[in-house]
Structures are given as structure tokens and as C-alpha cells.
Amino acid sequence: MAMTADGKTDSVERRGARISSDADEARVQRLRAESDAVLVGGRTLLAEDPRLTVRPQELVAERVGRGEPPQPMKVAIVSELLDMPGGGLPDPSRFLSDGGGRVVVVTSGRSSGAALARLRDRGAEVVVLGRDRVDLVAALAWLRRAGVRRLLVEGGGTLVAALLAAGLVDELRLYVAPLILGGADTPTPVGGPGIQRGSAVELSLEDVHADPDGGVVLRYLVTRPSA
């Protein structure tokens, strides 16, 4: 995830402000190219309609050379699909259409049959796992059965908090941009209800990389999931 020096992942408008630099975007492209699937949460999906594609042709060629599909699978976790044309996604939708790869939406029993059908009509595979919210353990097991070994989670903070709480995160990469956006309620890399100090997720710092433009990349391994 990309955050500002004050720990924000979006501006107060919550429309997916660009926080990554060009150098960071290039790193994200490589991470995507090395992943079997790329995952986002439902609010990120609706706020940004993200493309989640690998764009440099040399990275696409490397994937194909390894016998992989040209694009990683795109996956979204959405509690309730909106009961409206297109499930709340624009038409055309970058998430659903760009790249031409496999697109999976995992949702819960709260989504209506009509909403599932509308999204399927637009080419997505729709999977129902969980009653009121998506069962994340079941979702990751489904992805593993679908051949996903390396999953890149691109946020947002609600999804990341839930994955951390379930002990499902191995590694965390944070890009820190030389920017301040402020706002008491603007999103951060890890949202959710919060964790008491005694149960904090513990990390080991594996690498620090400073870009010439003032950006910093922190790479951590999760050494103890939330207790």
C-alpha cells in the first residue's frame, strides 16, 4: 500500500487520490507481474474502479514465458453487491474489462441473486462465501484451489485489517510518499476496529529503500499475527 508521511492512504475526498510516485508505480507493476492474483476490497473497487493490470509489455512477456496467463487474476471482496445496473460499477468498467484476464468477485449471502446475475452477465465469476461478510479463510482457500499461490493485496485498510486479524498476511510493503494529507478520519493502511497494544501485529523489517525523490519503501515480514 502507499501512504503519506502522516499515514494516510487517500485524501479526505476519498476518491482514490494518487499517492504513489512513478517509481513506486513501476514497483507495483513488477509486484503484480510476479503475482497469480491481485485483490482489493469492495470500497476500493467502487471508489476507484481500478484496472489492476500489468501494463509494461516486457513484464507481460515474462509472465507468458513462465507459462502464466498474460495478466494476473483480478479479485474483489464485496459484502453486498449493489442492486443496480452493473452492480455499482461504471459501464464500461476498468476492473471488469481491462486486460482481458480472469475476474472474480467474492461476495456474501447479503447480495441478491439478481445482483449476482448482473455481474456474471458482465463477464465476472461470482462466488458466494459467507453469510453477512465474506469468509476470508474460505475465499483464500477458493483462490488456492484456483491455482493462486502468490496473492497481492492492494487494500483498502478494512480488508487489510481483516486479513491481518485472521493471520493471513505474510509480508507488508509500504511506500511512504513525501506528502501530508491529514484528516482525522481519512483512511490508513490498516483500518478495522483497531488492535489493543498487547495483541499488536509484530513485524520484522527486511528492507528499506529510499528513492531520490524522497519516497521510501518499507518491506516487513509478519512475525506474529494479531494475538
* Stretch of 54-62, 121-129, 155-163, 199-207 lying at the interface with ligand NAP (CB under 6 A): 155-163
Indicate whether 157 belongs to the interface with ligand NAP (CB under 6 A). yes
Which amino acid is located at 179 in the chain? L
Indicate whether 19 belongs to the interface with ligand NAP (CB under 6 A). yes
Q: Interaction with ligand NAP in 61-80: which residues (CB under 6 A)?
A: 77, 79
Nearer to ligand NAP, 88 or 156 (CB): 156
- Least Å from the CB of residue 7 to ligand NAP: 11
Among all residues, whose Cβ is closest to ligand NAP? 156
Cis bond leading into 92, ω under 30°?
yes
Indicate whether 158 belongs to the interface with ligand NAP (CB under 6 A). yes
Q: Which of 24, 33, 42, 99 binds ligand NAP (CB under 6 A)?
A: 42
**And the C-alpha cell for 118?**
448482473
Residue 93 CB partners (closer than 8 Å, separation 6+)? 49, 86, 122
Count the residues of the shown chain that bind ligand NAP, applying the rule CB under 6 A: 28
H/E stretch holding 206: strand 202-210
**And the C-alpha cell for 25?**
508505480
Angle between helices 57-65 and 22-33 (to 10 degrees): 20
Indicate whether 87 belongs to the interface with ligand NAP (CB under 6 A). no
- Least Å from the CB of residue 67 to ligand NAP: 30
CA distance 169 to 202: 11
CA distance 164 to 226: 7
* Stretch of 39-47, 97-105, 116-124, 140-148 lying at the interface with ligand NAP (CB under 6 A): 39-47
Residue 19 CA, distance from chain mean position: 15
Nearer to ligand NAP, 71 or 107 (CB): 107
227: buried, middle or exposed (CB in 10 Å: 19+, 13-18, 0-12)?
A: exposed
Q: Which of 156, 164, 176, 215 binds ligand NAP (CB under 6 A)?
A: 156
* Stretch of 36-44, 55-63, 67-75, 111-119 lying at the interface with ligand NAP (CB under 6 A): 36-44
**And the C-alpha cell for 7?**
499515514
